[in-house]
């Protein structure tokens, strides 16, 4: 069964009644699986994370966004977290059997809907329409307070919705990204230079794999061994085992082995499919066979 | 969160009204996750498979068993499948964070309950009280029709409930077993003798791993290559990767590689924990980090 995740970040973290009204709007349609609701008072910001059938997720996102846009007035918003709008950032994240194309379609439908209710929209990450809009910090630079000026720059004309600043709603950033996998490989060495050479071999920025961000650091609480700390941003195109085997192979030229690895935080079970295929050669295995 | 599965086999596969009453009894308490309901008219038998919180699963199993015992009269039961009772076989299967001891406790509580409502009970598999009661076919030999005589033999005194034959209910077999994993390894050879040598190396019956049953056979639809076809009966004690690596190593002495493998049918995601740990060295990974 197809499964898409949405992570809706909106600019209210204190007013419990308002947050509850937004939540009720989210839940008012076809069932979705709410994974996390987290409000931060200092950030004055709430994140709803939910998943399910892609259309149900789209509709829930629309309903809750309309309610947040109705109730939140950015002219009076204060909070420690960077933001440019009432509905600030909405990534759509394929979890299961959803292609990038399908997720983009959902994202575009959502962007057009927000535009239709008067909110300027920027697409980011895999939905970005220009290179400089891929990165969220780039789009959000200057924040809500600088948005009116920023929108006058032809480089920052919104992708959807009104071209004029909406003082009440601010703007919304939406896009598609894969679940990020935090994967650390701990090397049997205290020589940071070896770690840095391996980082250069595997990360996209220096000729390595696409979809890999990496740094090397020393784990002082483990006797100073070196860790290659990575974010894998697309486990389908650049799977875990391939990066691991490359690091193992690169490390071996220095006579360095791998102590152990960490997968940090939530991991979609689908990221394990290629790992299983590679190591157990189960090429016809379907993840639908798995149960928890 | 702890998760226990129950697979209740009862002796009615035709009477939709009766089956529905048993189903309603199952559902009348704390929620459980019903995975499959399958009735077979020729077998005249229904299987309810469900999982969830161990106590909720126990209570659902009790309720549905009481209803089945009330409604089914074995004196008039006919069906193609071997059976000795109205509630014929009930394995409890640990799925997640349930130890064998906890599952045995649930199983014993269920057995005592059935005994208290007048049904003779035999424990089998990991709950068996004697070696010859481990195997279901052993206990069920002679079937319902032979049970009255069999129970007069001191070797077949029930583990719980009345020592006398109950003509209406017959007897129930209940126990604990791990999820069975069907794992086939396909060898780069058409020489069945090599497959047989590997089978002898890995299966319990000939000195190999505990919890491994194996046979070798030729896959005629794949050019006659040899498959080592296995059932792994306890993936915690005898994990998939260890059996795979042993087969790889044993095959290498004949210069034979592994073409591919199949994991057939449902696989509990928890069976992958040791696979990940072994290949990716993720020793501190918790399966709770996974989401579907």
Using the beta-carbon criterion (under 8 Å), do A269 and B261 form an inter-chain contact? no
One domain for residues A127 and A230 = no
pLDDT digits (tens, 9 = 90+) for B29-84: 999 999 889 999 999 999 999 999 999 999 999 999 999 999 999 999 999 899 99
How far apart CA A4 and CA A21 sit, in angstroms, is: 23
Best of B1, B282, B283, B284 to substitute, by most chain A Cβ atoms within 10 angstroms, is B282
Question: The pTM is what?
Answer: 0.77
pLDDT at A203: 96
Residue B16 class from Cβ within 10 Å (0-12 exposed, 13-18 middle, 19+ buried)? exposed
User: What is the β-pairing status of strands A181-187 and A87-96?
Assistant: unpaired
Encode pLDDT of A44-69 as tens digits: 999 999 999 999 999 999 999 999 99
Same domain, A190 and A172: no
Of A263, A269, A281, the CB nearest to B292: A269
pLDDT of residue B67: 98
pLDDT for res A72: 98
Low-confidence ranges of chain B (pLDDT < 50): none
User: Contacts of residue A245 in chain B, CB cutoff 8 Å?
Assistant: none
Of A4, A78, A92, A2, which is closest to residue A45 (Cα–Cα)? A78
Same domain for B71 and B116, yes or no, is: yes
pLDDT of residue A22: 97
Which residue range(s) make up the domain with B79? Answer: 3-176
A261 and B281: CB-CB below 8 Å? yes
Last residue of some domain: B133, B148, B176? B176
| Chain A residues touching residue B96 (CB < 8 angstroms) | 292
The verdict on B163 and B203 lying in the same domain is no
CB contact under 8 A, B282 and A291: no
Residue of A nearest to B179 (CA): A291
In this prediction, residue A230 has a pLDDT band, given cuts at 50, 70 and 90, of: very high
Contacts of A222 in chain B (CB under 8 A): none
Interface ipTM: 0.75
Does A260 contact B269 at a Cβ distance shorter than 8 Å?
Answer: no
Q: Considering its fold, how many domains does chain A have in total?
A: 2
Chain B, nearest residue to A273 by Cα: B272
Contact B213, B243 (CB under 8 A): no
Contact B268 A292 (CB under 8 A): yes
Same domain, A60 and A205: no
Distance from CA of A202 to the nearest CA of B (A): 17
Contact criterion met (CB below 8 Å) for A4 and A103 = yes
Q: Strands across the sheet with B258-264, in order? A: B212-219, B225-232, B181-187, B258-264
Interval A261-292: pLDDT, tens:
999 888 999 999 999 999 999 999 988 888 87
User: pLDDT at position B287, please?
Assistant: 86
Domain boundary among B134, B156, B176: B176
Q: What is the helix, strand, coil percentage profile of chain A, to 5?
A: 40, 30, 35
Residues of chain B positioned with their CB less than 8 A from the CB of A283 = 260
Residue B36 confidence (pLDDT): 87
Q: Give the up-direction half-sphere exposure of residue B117: CA atoms within 13 A in the CB hemisphere.
A: 21
Domain boundary among B131, B148, B176: B176
Contact A268 B291 (CB under 8 A): yes
């Amino acid at each position: 069964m197809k499964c898409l995740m949405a992570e809706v970040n909106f600019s209210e973290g204190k007013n419990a009644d308002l947050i509850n009204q937004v939540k009720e709007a989210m839940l008012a349609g076809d069932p979705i699986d709410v994974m996390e609701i987290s409000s931060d008072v200092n950030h004055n910001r709430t994140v709803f994370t939910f998943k399910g059938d892609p259309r149900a997720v789209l509709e829930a996102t629309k309903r809750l966004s309309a309610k947040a846009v109705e109730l939140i007035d950015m002219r009076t918003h204060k909070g420690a977290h960077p933001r440019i709008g009432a509905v600030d950032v909405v990534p759509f994240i394929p979890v299961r059997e959803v292609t990038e194309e399908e997720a983009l379609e959902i994202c575009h439908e959502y962007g057009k809907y927000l535009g239709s209710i008067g909110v300027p929209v920027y697409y980011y990450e895999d939905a970005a329409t220009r290179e400089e809009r891929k990165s969220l910090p780039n789009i959000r630079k200057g924040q809500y307070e600088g948005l009116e000026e920023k929108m006058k720059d032809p480089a920052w004309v919104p992708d959807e919705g009104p071209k004029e600043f909406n003082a009440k709603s601010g703007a919304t950033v939406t896009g598609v990204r894969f679940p990020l996998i935090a994967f650390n490989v701990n090397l049997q060495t205290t020589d940071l230079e070896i770690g840095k050479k391996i980082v250069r071999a595997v990360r996209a920025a220096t000729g390595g794999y696409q979809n890999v961000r990496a740094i090397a650091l020393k784990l002082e609480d483990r006797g100073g061994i070196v860790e290659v700390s990575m974010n894998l941003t697309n486990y389908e195109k650049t799977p875990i085992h391939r990066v691991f085997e490359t690091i193992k192979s690169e490390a071996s030229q220095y006579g360095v082995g791998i102590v152990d690895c960490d997968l940090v935080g939530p991991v979609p079970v689908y990221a394990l499919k290629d790992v299983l295929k590679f190591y157990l050669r189960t090429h016809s295995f379907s993840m639908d066979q798995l149960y928890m």
